[in-house]
Amino acid sequence: MKKYMIASLILCIFISIAVPAAAEEASENNQNANLDLAPGAISAILMERDTGEILYNKNVHEELPPASMTKIMTLLLIMEALDQDKLALNEMVRISEHAASMGGSQIFLEAGEEMSVEDLLKGIAIASGNDASVALAERIAGSEDAFVKKMNEKAKDLGLKNTHFQNTTGLPAEGHYSTAHDLAIMAQELLKYESITDYTSIYEDYLRKGEDNEFWLVNTNKLVKFYPGVDGLKTGFTSQAKYGLTATAKKDDMRVIAVVMGAETTKERNKMISSMLDYAFNHYETKKLFKKNETITNIQLLKAEENRINIAVSKPVSTIHEKGEAPEEIVTSVELYKNITPPMKKGDHVGELVVRHDGKTISTTPLVVTHDVHQASFFTLFKRAMGEMVKEN
């Protein structure tokens, strides 16, 4: 749909806030050539979540095996299915022979066993269970192959040009690769589902608690316990990929994502991630403009059952700046699509919130309807028509 500016709906908000040097174009090179926060990594990236601003990067588009960081996409599709009510946390899932046969990291599911979606989700998020990943993939898509197809379709939708999946787990496979940049984008998308960190932040838990086959879950991401503010997301290791980690941490209003690929040891991996997080929190801060799902405006749709429809931002909207920068003005505006007509489902896109500085676009955020919008009944349309006739007279 083509966009147009609806003058009556433009929000011009002049906010005293600093706009970062980093908010110029995202550079493919480090702003400081001498800055190497991940000296032992093949590839690394540091990104602020809300703005998508890249604060540090190293070989970010190099295609490498992601190992179990693959499960960021697996988790994204699981959370999407939960959000769309295609899956329920208390639903019991029967484990197939194929899922139970997975090697590598696992929670030792048995064929024919039943486990809740929530416990399987914990098995993936905490212990990186390959068997749990396949079990939920089969439940959502019918087979692992069909789920992998969905993973690749989602990667395409997100504009990830250097990612291709062959499985849900990250076990070694020819043609299975991603990049630090693409993993950061996947993590950014996954974090839209705020409840995911309820699982990825758990350091230890139990499955089948009190039963003979009770299983102790310990988070593979030790920074969850040892770095304040870290609450996810996913580790990865194979002999080919070496050690990788996509981590996220929040301090005050700022959430950042840090990715390391190809570290030689877990100690090196954690040290590099910690260095990137320290750099972000020591040198940058954000200013929150709007919270996720905050209503920005409302519009009148004559053919809708409700007279006015609330429009909200689909994710948090912030600006980022270096600490100590002088404040400057920014402008935000609402740009709605043409021909917005019911019926619509909650979350359907109807336009964008555009943030600009000196006439240059800093960010765009999809605008969505806050609830289902139904087509007006004949009786509603009749009442409105009569009301207009009364006004005219």
Q: Which residues are catalytic?
A: 68, 71, 128
Alpha-carbon distances of 21 from 78, 181, 372, rounded to whole Å: 37, 20, 40
Residue 318 DSSP class: E
CB neighbours (10 Å) of residue 94? 13
Residue linked to tokens 């519009």 = 299
* Cα dihedral value 162, 280, 287, 188, nearest 10: 30
Kind and range of the H or E run holding 297:
strand 295-300
Find the DSSP H helices in the chain. Answer: 71-83, 97-100, 117-125, 130-141, 144-157, 180-190, 196-200, 223-226, 266-283, 378-392
Residue linked to tokens 């490498």 = 64
Euclidean distance between CA atoms 121 and 134, whole angstroms: 11
The residue ranges of DSSP E strands in 208-293, in sequence order, are 215-218, 230-238, 242-251, 254-263, 284-290
DSSP assignment string, 352-390: EEEEEETTEEEEEEEEEESS-BPBPPHHHHHHHHHHHHH
State the amino acid at position 318 in one-letter form: S
